[in-house]
Amino acid sequence: MQRPEAWPRPHPGEGAAAAQAGGAAPPARAGEPAGSRLQEPSLYTIKAVFILDNDGHRLLAKYYDDTFPSTKEQMAFEKNVFNKTSRTDSEIAFFGGMTIVYKSSIDLFLYVVGSSYENELMLMSVLTCLFESLNHMLRKNVEKRWLLENMDGAFLVLDEIVDGGVILESDPQQVIQKVNFRVLQSAKEQIKWSLLK
């Protein structure tokens, strides 16, 4: 039996550019209608993570592909998502061909965005990890004032959970442990350099 040729899946955002440039697409199998093939699995599951205040203004945002290449497009997307989700009690939304899971806490809205075919449970595990890690780091005060005062730590938390759209960690205890280690290493370096001066 001959094995079909493997087609590598491009990083999210590269597929549209390849299609526009006339790049090759995997052929449909014999007797299979075009477009009915399942998506190949990928590690690149997260398109974006952002936190907005209760007025819909950006506090923290990281985009992991070129779906929204400019800040203007990103902020327009965030505003549309906020308008759609801020008055509902659900946790999942489908908007603009994307799956969005979100959570509100006091005066914050936390969002994790994936493509339309991503598993909602995977996205929700990232959102839960982000919220629980921030909850621990901010000492149970997940609100705008405390987040703004600890923004560097919030970015460290996010970097430990997702890197380049790939989920690295979904256990909040592990994330906090890694963040504390990085902060401790940074403090040691600062002390070392201050002693050398």
Give how far the C-alpha of residue 142 lies from the chain's centroid of Cα atoms, to the nearest Å. 18
Q: Cα–Cα distance between 193 and 197 in angstroms, integer?
A: 6
Helix (H) or strand (E) holding 67: none
- Residue 31's φ and ψ, nearest 5 degrees, are 80, 5
- What is the structure's pLDDT at 75? 95
Banded pLDDT at 8 (limits 50, 70, 90): very low
CA distances from 39 to 2, 26, 66, 104, 145 (A): 22, 11, 19, 31, 41
Look-up: residue for tokens 């819909």? 56
Task: Go through the domains of the chain in sequence order and give each one's CATH number.
Answer: 46-193 (3.30.450.60)
| For range 22-33, the mean pLDDT | 51
Tell me the per-residue pLDDT of 45-78, one tens digit each, with 9 for 90 and over. Answer: 899 999 999 999 999 999 999 999 999 999 999 9
pLDDT of residue 7: 41
